[in-house]
């Protein structure tokens, strides 16, 4: 099942670089660290704004961005893709260890997999750090992909850009705004490293999807 929905409203967050301030023990007691000026945010530090709640991932409402969700009959989501014009951004969110990020290791594994399949892949420094740019063969011809990874507190967000945004980050436009405004709700339970965090349709969307695509036993004869 593919559920598509256009989101409206929302505002662009400042795209400043994150800064980390080292405080001594006295300052730590007297000061509260400022929330980052851009996301993806952990749920504990996210600014308030309209978002589509998919469980572990909350997607900001940005005008003209279509949210395409592929889910099973139980409402469990297998894929989330944001679309704006001819550009697309596929999103995934995964568990990570408390002590370190995993994007560097994951990126290298993606690179090796692409190279083994005959694709060209290279590291490029981007606004979130090191990205992976690749060109893959498809039935429609060569396709460019841009892999972006953001490590957070015990989670990692992976985004894959397609379209002009795969080679020109400035073309991402509203999709970049969505990435900057993402919120991750990791939860507190222990999870294996790299396990996808659970994503589910909101109840009203799941009910609508069930009505539009009833199970075989529920269909009228």
Instruction: Convert the pLDDT of each residue in 49-99 to its tens digit.
Output: 999 999 999 999 999 999 999 998 888 999 999 999 999 999 999 999 988
Closest CA to 129 of 51, 5, 40: 40
- If we measure between CA atoms, which residue out of 154, 121, 111, 119 comes closest to residue 137? 119
Give the CA distances from residue 210 to residues 69, 73, 189, 207, in Å, rounded to whole numbers and listed in that order: 14, 7, 30, 5
| SS3 (DSSP) at 168 | coil
Per-residue pLDDT tens over the stretch 8-40: 343 333 334 433 333 333 343 344 445 567 889
The DSSP element (H or E) to which 113 belongs, if any, is helix 103-116
* Residue 21 confidence (pLDDT): 38
Looking at residue 142, what is its pLDDT? 92
What is the phi/psi pair of residue 136, to 5°? Answer: -115, 155
Model pTM?
0.78
Are 44 and 84 in contact by the 8 Å Cβ rule? The answer is no
In percent, the amount of the chain with pLDDT more than 90 equals: 65
Tell me the two tokens of residue 164: 């002009």
Give the class (CATH, top level) of 47-202: alpha beta
- The total of other beta-carbon atoms located within 10 Å of residue 8's CB is 10
Query: CA distances (Å), 172 to each of 39, 49, 86, 162, 176, in order?
Result: 16, 21, 10, 9, 5
Report the residue count for the chain: 221
Distance CA(221)–CA(218), nearest Å, equals 9
CB under 8 Å to 147, separation ≥6 — which residues? Answer: 107, 110, 131, 132, 133, 134, 158, 159, 160
What does the pLDDT read at residue 24? 39
């Amino acid at each position: 099942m593919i559920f598509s929905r256009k989101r409206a409203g929302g505002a662009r967050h400042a795209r400043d670089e994150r800064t980390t301030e080292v405080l001594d023990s006295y300052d730590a007691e007297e000061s509260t660290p400022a929330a980052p000026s851009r996301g993806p945010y952990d749920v504990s530090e996210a600014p308030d704004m309209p978002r589509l709640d998919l469980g572990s991932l909350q997607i900001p409402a940005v005008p003209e961005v279509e949210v395409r969700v592929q889910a099973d009959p139980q409402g469990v989501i297998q894929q989330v893709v944001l679309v704006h014009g001819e550009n697309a951004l596929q999103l995934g969110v995964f568990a990570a260890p408390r002590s370190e990020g995993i994007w560097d290791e994951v990126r290298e594994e993606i690179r090796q997999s692409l190279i083994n399949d005959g694709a060209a892949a290279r590291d490029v420094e981007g606004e979130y750090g090191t990205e992976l740019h690749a060109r893959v063969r498809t039935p429609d011809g060569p396709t460019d992909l841009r892999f972006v990874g953001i490590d957070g507190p015990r989670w990692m967000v992976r985004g894959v850009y397609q379209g002009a945004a795969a080679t020109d980050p400035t073309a991402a436009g509203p999709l970049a705004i969505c990435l900057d405004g993402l919120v991750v709700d990791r939860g507190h339970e222990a999870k294996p490293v790299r396990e996808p965090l659970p994503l589910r349709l909101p109840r009203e969307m799941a009910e609508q999807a069930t009505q539009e695509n009833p199970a075989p036993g529920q269909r009228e004869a």
